[in-house]
Structure 1
């Protein structure tokens, strides 16, 4: 156990594969009952969330305890979304048992970490209690995440539709030959995780994992778990994110990408579009794009995830000197280098259900 000194009223402790961050004020710490779990992206670490975790605690000192996961760091992020999701689920269970006073839970995942969190909540979901009145709907019919009230599920530049398809990975420049080649060799670089992201993990007649994750599958309640949260939010870069494209991170078809111009609010200078997308059931099938050979699979993923409502927040760092690092700026991965993304984290906190 490594307990760090308080800085700006923030204390931290490293224990059992994760780092907890909370207010140093005894009164605030004793009243905080909301656990916020932050997950890193591929080849990342818990340190990537240091700025955001500390800002959350400073702004919501009597509300939240932040846990930056360390179970899936560095090369461990190559083991596959499912393996990482199981690790995260075990970590959260241990964490909840260590903190019996916690009543609520939220998840915030950057890049692939958002997919890992989606898998983990599918494992952690618990259905509504049997005594719930038959026919009840709304809040009373929601399940829990291992007994805790599910509040916010937030993803930041997460490839919800995977990385396969036209312009889903911007650094491939939308060149079909490059995109096809990536599907063939990605597992050499990113191993099982690469197969999951590029939807090439078809085994034993099962559809790709990301396609399975838009429904409840066996004892994994992926969509029931997502529905349990009071809010689902997708933060996305509209441009200059060379790792995760706008379409896949915002869960949209190409024709649904909105037009944007300048900032919507002086307080959040990099937010250029906000949208509340209501849950859609029974939407007719339409192809994602004539350029996508895998349009049926991608369409099924979009329609599946659209069965729950999403708040979509679109971000642009087009005027920033560091804009080509948008994938890291949106998270403020390094406070010195990526500080321009602080308004995104502030927006996250200002709209957070605590």
Structure 2
């Protein structure tokens, strides 16, 4: 009788890939990514880990706690693999949505503990991750309302995503610390051989382009007003990062229509938000806020247990120096819908130099924020008037000083940025990774195919 020969050392995979899901997520959300990886790299080529301890409402507990959970699962997995004779020499980490921020925190912990001296970091990729948080740009009463309300509906994660938290004794938001050039988190990112991100340009109800794409501008705020340039072989989904858009000749409009378009843009632009508030407040607010209060209470209890060491993780191993030098589905939809009605605002013409964190002052930005909202429209009009070259100019978004600093720090590390244009479904946040087997999500095949072709084993 034939017997199977024992696996030779060369057939044992030495590469671990970790997939981290997002807010309200479960490991099932990453099923398509995991199966696509497995189809390309069988079990004798690659280990795949999808951490389970942040599932569902546990994602309310914050990026720090989530990162500690992921780091702990990675270490446990490496220990289990070592006991079974698998020596891991390479590590890749893939984060989706909030999972990208949790991943950035987790790799900082692993780096500080010396893991990258023994294991080579290879691929780090995020899909639709809010690297700059989810607060809307500063200007406008409607943006201010959402920044205040939204930050208080998702427990600790909400405070961190809207950057109203004070992380430990730094007196700074966690996201600012996460992107500090002197932090263990940026040092960890720099160790990876390949860093990339994928960002939806339209219809992402959770994470808009500028934060997923780590950008001071949004070339795609009016995609029909420019020529979008796609990567050959990935049309019309993956956009060419080197030449994303070029100038499009405008169609001639009668003078009265031109005046109507300019004069009514602001009014009609605000309508979705106002209509949503009118419907949301009487119908959905009580359910939404009740669920948020319940989940926030439960989250605080879990965080307290975690801090007291009663959650199964020795947090002392991870509390290290940061500097070196169902109802849920309905609530998720409600949160995404109101977030989707927010508009991007811009710095007024002539103040683009404020985008530099070395020149930017909070007092100047506040002064800028108090000016007329009509100036944002004149900035958009400048896009239509810029016809002097192939690459149109775009106004600088009215971000916070911390957000401008985050952009510069992440750009200094270096990411390959791939804008993604999902046409066939209005829920591009889920379609970008084909979060479920659903009609209209087929363009996720193209995104994942591109990612796999960049993935180095």
Shift of 1:68: 1.2
Residue 72, structure 1, aligned to residue 72, structure 2 = no
Contact kept? 1:285, 1:299, Cα under 8 Å: no
The answer to whether the aligner puts 1:285 opposite 2:370 as a matched pair is no
Report the TM-score, using the length of structure 2 for normalisation: 0.60
Aligned ranges for residues 103-252 of structure 1 at < 5 Å? 103-126=89-112, 144-145=115-116, 147-166=118-137, 176-202=140-166, 204=169, 206-215=171-180, 221-252=184-215
Instruction: Give the 3 Å change call, closer, same or farther, for CA 95–216 of structure 1 in structure 2.
Output: farther
Matched, 1:339 2:442: yes
- SS of equivalent residue, structure 1 residue 87: helix
Change in 2 beyond 3 A, CA 1:148/1:316? same
CA contact (8 A) 1:35 1:106 kept: yes
Paired position in structure 2 for 1:273: 240
Match of 1:3 in 2: none
Is 2:300 aligned against 1:300? no
Residue 262 of structure 1: CA displacement? Answer: 4.8
Q: Deviations over 1:287-306 (max 9, x none)?
A: 69955665311111111112
The 3-state SS of whatever aligns with 2:403 is helix
Q: Contact conserved, 2:137 with 2:399, CA < 8 A, in 1?
A: no
Please point out which of 19, 25, 34 is paired with 2:15: 34
Q: Which has the larger radius of gyration?
A: 2
- Structure 1 stretch displaced more, 297-306 or 29-38: 29-38
Q: How far apart, CA to CA, are the structure 2 residues paired with 1:228 and 1:205?
A: 25
Counterpart Cα distance in 2 of 1:287 and 1:257: 25
| Partner Cα distance (2:92, 2:449) in 1 | 16
Specify the alignment match of 1:49 in structure 2.
30
Q: Distance in 2 between matches of 1:269 and 1:308?
A: 29
- Name the structure, 1 or 2, with higher relative contact order (CA <8 Å, separation 6+): 2
Structure 2's unaligned 5+ residue stretches are 1-6, 244-355, 370-396
Structure 1 length as normaliser, TM-score?
A: 0.76
Which shows bigger deviation, 252-261 or 294-303?
252-261
CA contact (8 A) 2:29 2:436 kept: yes
Deviates more, 1:240-249 or 1:146-155: 146-155
Larger % of helix: which? 2
Alpha-carbon offset, residue 215 of structure 1: 2.3
User: What is the aligned length?
Assistant: 297
2:430 maps to which residue?
328
Q: Which residues in structure 2 correspond to 1:7-26 (within 5 Å)?
A: none
Deviations 1:159-195 (A, max 9, x none): 001112329xxxxxxx832321222222432111000
* Inter-partner Cα distance in structure 2 for 1:76 and 1:178: 30
Q: How has the CA–CA distance of structure 1 residues 28 and 326 changed in structure 2, closer, same or farther, with 3 Å as cutoff?
A: farther
CA displacement, residues 183-220 of structure 1 (integer Å, 9 cap, x when unaligned): 22224321110000000002656110000111266xx6
Report the Cα offset of residue 63 of structure 1. Answer: 2.8
Contact 2:51 2:70 in 1 (8 A): yes
Counterpart selection for 2:454 from 343, 348, 351: 351
Q: Aligned Cα RMSD in Å?
A: 2.9
- Residues in 1 aligned to 2:94 and 2:444: alpha-carbon distance in whole angstroms: 16
CA contact (8 A) 1:268 1:344 kept: no
Q: What is the rounded CA distance, in whole Å, between the counterparts of 2:8 and 2:448 in structure 1? A: 25
Structure 1 spans left out of the alignment, 5+ residues: 1-25, 128-142, 168-174, 277-282
- Residues 52-85 of structure 1, C-alpha deviation per residue, up to 9 Å, x if partnerless? 1111111122432211111111100000111111
Contact kept, 8 Å, 1:275 with 1:311, in 2: the verdict is no
- Alpha-carbon deviation of 1:284? 6.7
